[in-house]
Structure 1
Amino acid sequence: MTDINTLIPLKVHGVLVDPNTDTQIVVLRDEKNSEVLPIWVGTAEGTSIRLALENVIPPRPMSHDLICSFAAHLGFTLNKVVITEVKNNTYFSTLFLSKEDLEKSIDSRPSDAIALALRCQCPIYVTPEVLERRGGEDLDTWLAKLDQKGFEQTET
């Protein structure tokens, strides 16, 4: 695992829809260098992230709310989530939890990790290697092409 000092903090800039595929995209931004990391997610995951960004509290707990509540009831704290690698255009992430002197790391899909980070109010990081490999296209140009319908400027 990469040293915490080399990890790059990200903020969730919003969720938008790719008009070509009708797929939800979570847009993460490194505020220090204005780097953008788009991650394609499923509709349910995108909706969950969007609801968390909008501070919507559903009448009954959603899966990510339940997981945060479950961890808290067991005395665990979600300390950070890290987007750790990309293989074959698939991102991987890890949840880092602690309870007293016990520390655990759990493999997670980035969409779930982001949704949990928003609900548990913990930081999101990416390794420098992942940010460097995110794609060759100019992301500002790419983002400008996307449908802005439903795009939330809410930041965490």
Structure 2
Amino acid sequence: MTTLIATLLGALIGVVGTLLIERNRARKAEQHEKGHARAEAYIAFVVAVHATSGNLRTLALKIAAVPEEEQLQQARDAFRSSGLYAAREHVVLVAPERIAHAADAVFVALRGLRQVVAEGGSVHELAYLSEVENYAAALGHLRSMIRTDLGEVPLERDVSW
């Protein structure tokens, strides 16, 4: 009888151990998948941010030649054409709250830049340069937060753009 109990107890320990190992492996796989999904969302957002800022810069370079009544619409089109709204929503859905807010700060900074361009601001005007500075600071902060979230050390000095 003692041998039977010992055998059953050994089998039970083996099964429980296997279940715990499998549960741990499944958790790690889920965390890896979530991390990958966040990384993809972050990359899509930053790519859309750069496309948007590039579109606004291109418009700001030629804004003097754009009729005043078309400036607002062209600035809006430059902002919308990059997929920034969808990328922003993706980040809001998958990112930790602090990163969602940092991404929103970048979005708001770009809206400020859009407004300056919509009002006829060129790349040489102080208002434009000031908004670019706000945008760059917000983007640098977001990059640091994303790197930390992805397990990387923040850059000591942000890259130029």
* Normalised TM-score (structure 1): 0.29
* Normalised TM-score (structure 2): 0.28
Higher relative contact order (CA 8 A, sep 6+): 1
Higher helix share: 2
When Rg is computed on C-alpha atoms for both structures, the one with the higher figure is 2
Higher strand share: 1
